[in-house]
């Protein structure tokens, strides 16, 4: 049997906001939380997050592996390249484990031009990916690869059949739980497919947010929760949802506000970094903005001297010892790193307090005081949890 236990320890009345205790093979994570993300070439977030992991903040860890079909074929046929590829993944998984995160490997397979594959994998590529997922020491969750949007529920069914069979074959050696990627298309949220996932033992679901704000998917999220809640009540088992490729913020300049941090209001138990590469770049040097935890908006880092109570905002390791007057003369690269380090620390500090707010039924009220996200607050209420008459399970 797969060693996975999910216990709901708090829920805010009539909302999707909740807190769960997730136990996986001896590791415990309390949600809402976020994922520490790393790629094979960039471990900046991992390095910045490690010191922030503590008893209040226990994260998942995502090794995001981006590869084309041609690259994967080369790794299969060229032992030297295959070993180097596997070693890079293994090193990142080990680094996440050493940081006390719970690692998983997420493959994104593209067509060679960066576009989603939008079709099932050839058998040899699929087997190679499965060998890495099960063969990498420290990989704690088996995740179905990101392939874009497949054409029908039947194709998703074939993928979960293959990965479930591999899980059965390996169960005497390894008993990692499965995380299945749910289609981000409304027409593909098929009750039969979701039930098949459930019957395969899937209790962790990944939803590819595709670098869009949560509100864009509210009607799909509503349907997904409706289907999963039915199955949850029938089996008396819980589930969690991970927002894959969640958009960090949206809006422009002074109107921008946080997105990924507030995923709990949309029913996400954890969220992961966005790895989608933008195809549009401004001709001008971009201004850098930092997260303002007082209102959940953003501030231009080169204009902080004019901000009231700025010391409460820049009290992060990245900024607290820097003279604000020096920021305007820094290079764009320097500002980018400072802002990213600041944002990582601030968002982790925020979310580590969310479980205690939820247990006291206070998170929605807390978020309601953040003036920049009032539209999002209303969205959270619109996709509230509807408890069936006579249902005692979620009370």
The pLDDT, as a whole number, for residue 389 is 37
Are 70 and 179 within one domain? yes
Are 257 and 298 within one domain? no
The pLDDT, as a whole number, for residue 352 is 96
**Order of strands, edge to edge, in the sheet holding 297-300?**
249-250, 257-258, 297-300, 289-292
Specify the length of the chain in residues.
Answer: 395
Nearest CA to 286 among 253, 256, 257, 241? 253
Are 221 and 332 within one domain? no
DSSP state for residue 190 in the 8-state scheme:
-
Are 238 and 315 within one domain? no
Cβ atoms 62, 35 nearer than 8 A = yes
Are 268 and 293 within one domain? no
Cβ atoms 192, 159 nearer than 8 A = no
Are 314 and 226 within one domain? no
φ, ψ for residue 250 (rounded to 5)? -150, 170
H/E stretch holding 60 reads strand 60-68
Question: Within a domain: residue 11?
Answer: yes
Q: State if pTM tops 0.85.
A: yes
DSSP state for residue 327 in the 8-state scheme:
G
Cβ atoms 138, 97 nearer than 8 A = yes
Distance CA 105, CA 248 (A): 21
Per-residue tens of pLDDT for the chain, all 395 residues: 568 999 999 999 989 999 999 999 999 999 999 999 999 999 999 999 999 999 899 999 999 999 999 999 999 999 999 999 999 999 999 999 999 999 999 999 999 998 999 999 999 999 999 999 999 999 999 999 999 999 999 999 999 999 999 999 998 888 899 999 999 899 999 999 999 999 999 999 999 999 999 999 999 999 999 999 999 999 999 999 999 999 999 998 778 999 999 999 999 999 999 998 766 545 455 568 999 999 999 999 888 988 888 999 999 999 998 999 899 889 989 999 999 999 999 999 999 999 999 999 999 999 999 999 999 999 999 886 545 433 433 33
Cα-based distances in Å from 195 to 119, 155, 165: 22, 15, 17
From the CB of residue 392, how many other CB atoms can be counted at a distance below 10 Å?
A: 7
Question: Within a domain: residue 351?
Answer: no
Distance CA 34, CA 37 (A): 9
Question: Within a domain: residue 100?
Answer: yes
Question: Within a domain: residue 360?
Answer: no
Q: HSE-up of 258 (CA within 13 Å, CB side)? A: 27
Are 184 and 203 within one domain? yes
The pLDDT, as a whole number, for residue 158 is 96
101-154 confidence digits (pLDDT tens): 999 999 999 999 989 999 999 999 999 999 999 999 999 999 999 999 999 999
Cβ atoms 24, 141 nearer than 8 A = yes
Instruction: Give the domain extent around 306.
Output: 289-346
φ, ψ for residue 33 (rounded to 5)? -150, -175
Distance CA 369, CA 313 (A): 17
Nearest CA to 138 among 201, 85, 96? 96
Question: Within a domain: residue 90?
Answer: yes
Are 178 and 215 within one domain? yes
| Total of domains in the chain | 2
Question: Within a domain: residue 365?
Answer: no
The DSSP string of 223-242 is: HHHHHHHHHHHHHT---EEE
Are 245 and 316 within one domain? no
Are 221 and 310 within one domain? no
277-291 confidence digits (pLDDT tens): 766 545 455 568 999
Distance CA 70, CA 125 (A): 10
Are 271 and 148 within one domain? yes
Question: Within a domain: residue 355?
Answer: no
Cβ atoms 26, 58 nearer than 8 A = no
Question: Within a domain: residue 394?
Answer: no
Are 253 and 196 within one domain? yes
The pLDDT, as a whole number, for residue 253 is 73
The pLDDT, as a whole number, for residue 383 is 82
**Order of strands, edge to edge, in the sheet holding 178-182?**
102-110, 60-68, 33-39, 270-271, 240-244, 204-208, 178-182, 142-143
- Two tokens, residue 299: 């501030």
Q: What is the CATH number of the domain that holds 234?
A: 3.20.20.380
The pLDDT, as a whole number, for residue 384 is 64
């Amino acid at each position: 049997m797969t060693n996975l236990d999910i216990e709901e320890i708090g829920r805010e009345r009539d909302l999707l906001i909740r807190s769960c205790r997730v136990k996986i093979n001896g590791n415990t994570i309390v949600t809402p939380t976020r994922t520490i993300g790393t790629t094979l070439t960039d471990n900046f977030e991992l390095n910045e997050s490690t010191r922030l992991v503590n008893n209040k903040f226990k994260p998942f860890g995502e090794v995001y592996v981006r590869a084309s079909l041609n690259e994967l074929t080369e790794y299969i046929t060229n032992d030297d390249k295959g070993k180097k590829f596997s070693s890079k993944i293994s090193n990142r998984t080990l680094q996440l484990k050493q940081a006390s995160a719970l690692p998983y490997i997420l493959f994104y397979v593209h067509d060679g031009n960066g576009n989603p594959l939008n079709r099932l994998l050839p058998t040899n590529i699929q087997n190679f990916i499965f060998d890495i997922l099960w063969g990498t020491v420290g990989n704690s969750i088996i995740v179905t690869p990101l392939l874009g949007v497949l054409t029908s529920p039947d194709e998703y069914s074939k993928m979960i059949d293959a990965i479930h069979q591999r899980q059965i074959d390996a169960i005497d050696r390894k008993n990692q739980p499965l995380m299945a990627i749910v289609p981000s298309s409304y027409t593909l949220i098929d009750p039969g497919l979701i039930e098949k996932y459930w019957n395969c033992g899937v209790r962790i679901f990944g939803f590819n947010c595709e670098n869009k704000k949560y509100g864009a998917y509210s009607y799909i999220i509503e349907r997904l929760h409706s289907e999963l809640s039915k199955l949850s009540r029938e089996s008396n088992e819980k589930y969690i949802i991970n927002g894959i490729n969640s958009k960090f913020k949206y809006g422009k300049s002074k109107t921008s506000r946080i997105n990924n941090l507030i995923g709990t209001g949309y029913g996400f138990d954890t969220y992961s970094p966005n790895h989608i590469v933008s195809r549009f770049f401004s001709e001008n040097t971009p201004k850098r903005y930092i997260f303002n935890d007082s209102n959940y908006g953003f501030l231009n880092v080169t204009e902080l001297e004019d901000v009231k109570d700025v010391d409460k905002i820049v009290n992060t390791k990245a900024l607290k010892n820097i003279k604000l007057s020096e920021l305007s003369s820094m290079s764009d690269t320097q500002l980018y790193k400072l802002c990213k380090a600041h944002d990582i620390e601030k968002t982790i500090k925020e979310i580590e307090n969310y479980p205690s707010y939820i247990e006291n039924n206070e998170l929605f009220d807390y978020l309601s005081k953040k003036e920049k996200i009032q539209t999002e607050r209303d969205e959270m209420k619109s996709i509230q949890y509807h408890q069936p008459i006579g249902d005692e399970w979620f009370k």
